[in-house]
Structure 1
């Protein structure tokens, strides 16, 4: 660990937890029932954005009007049906476990806080992190730095002394804008794709 790093911040989906394929299936099936198309490539490009924001974006792009909160809830419920299938991304979980009690650590996610907490519990990491910041905790979302800045604030560590672990372009950019060091999880973990 470099000398200037005093806190670690982890994204959840695709970073601590191998949830991205499960999220995509929930997205695909939920959106198809409302007449949307949503490719896996689109899905990965929007990693870090909250559910409601993605639905609003697709609604504008595809000219389909829906009740956004209702569809968002349908998608999250579809994901929760598969939560028992969630597996850890072990190298990143190992980093968190190795530094537990040595550094303040938190989670900053574009997901809903309670769902993120359920994923963390599924991984057996509930007591590992000092805080969990979700989509409802900031007004602006990745690539804006707000989620990571909020975690740093709650941990009581200046941004320049934080390292972020991230798996998506929007999250990597958010860490950069926050003035934090960033480790791109994709250098050691490639998510399984559902479609070829």
Structure 2
């Protein structure tokens, strides 16, 4: 983790990054893990339906797949099965091209860099090690820090609190409509990436201000993007 935030007390803003699908190439790994976990417990759900919900926390994801009126006694076992299946990929997790460089570029420009992940803390720790950019990260907010996951705004608000900046001085970067909706509810502008399988139109329709092909494209265009330098309130 970066130890430079104290040296940047005058930083005017923060960039909040989703992790799965935004910085790490993990969306389809989660899809497979949920598909198998559900099958193990007698629920046959197509991967296409599951993929569209990656980025939500398990609470909202299971509501969407199995219905809000289901017997919730099995939710813990389903979530544990997903975690065990996904953990099999931990040694092979890979960041998206340019992800670590993008975080460092934001830090170098004076932004406070905060990760906002719907993953549990132990899973987020694994991804951060695989990402290899701990020197650029000021703080991390995970599912363990909040009562409700995306698309609720709780995780974005927690990330703002850890960054120590108001919503108007932050930008959220994510790959799913759930990211954009959560950011919008928290009053934070959002940039979308196409790396999670959502279309440009879907991300814009969910509230993304601008959409980029990848972390690499955002890095290449950073000087012409809202991440060029921290400024005053973006409202």
What band does the TM-score fall into relative to the shorter chain?
0.7 to 0.9
Aligned to 1:13: 20
C-alpha contact (below 8 Å) 1:8/1:103 kept by paired residues: yes
Q: Structure 2 stretches of 5 or more lacking a match? A: 1-10, 195-211, 216-235
Partner of 2:79: 72
Is the CA contact 1:17–1:87 (under 8 Å) kept in the aligned structure 2? Answer: yes
Matched, 1:107 2:132: no
Distance 1:175 1:125, change over 3 A: same
Does residue 176 of structure 1 match 2:184?
A: yes
Map 1:1-196 onto structure 2 (within 5 A): 6-60=13-67, 67-101=74-108, 102-186=110-194, 187-189=212-214
**After the TM superposition, which segments of 4 or more aligned residues of structure 1 sit over 4 Å from their partners?**
61-66
Counterpart in 1 of 2:220?
none
Superposed CA deviations along residues 116-135 of structure 1, whole A, max 9, x for unmatched, are 12111112123332221111
Structure 1: unaligned runs, 5 residues or longer: 191-196
Q: Distance in 2 between matches of 1:163 and 1:5?
A: 12
2:59 and 2:149 map into 1 onto residues whose CA distance is: 12
Structure 2-normalised TM-score? Answer: 0.71
Q: Do 1:117 and 1:126's aligned partners in 2 also have CA atoms closer than 8 Å? A: no
**SS of equivalent residue, structure 1 residue 48:** coil
Cα RMSD after superposing both structures: 2.4
**1 or 2 for the larger relative contact order (CA 8 Å, sep ≥6)?**
1
Contact between 2:167 and 2:188, CA under 8 Å: does it hold in 1? yes
Count of aligned residue pairs for this structure pair: 187
User: What's the TM-score once normalised by structure 1's chain length?
Assistant: 0.84
Answer whether contact 1:56 1:68 (CA < 8 A) is retained.
no
Distance 1:170 1:89 in 2: 20
1:111-162 CA-partner distances (Å, limit 9, x unpaired):
1122112111112123332221111211222122221111111111111111
Deviations 1:63-112 (A, max 9, x none): 67752112211111110111122211123432112123532111112111
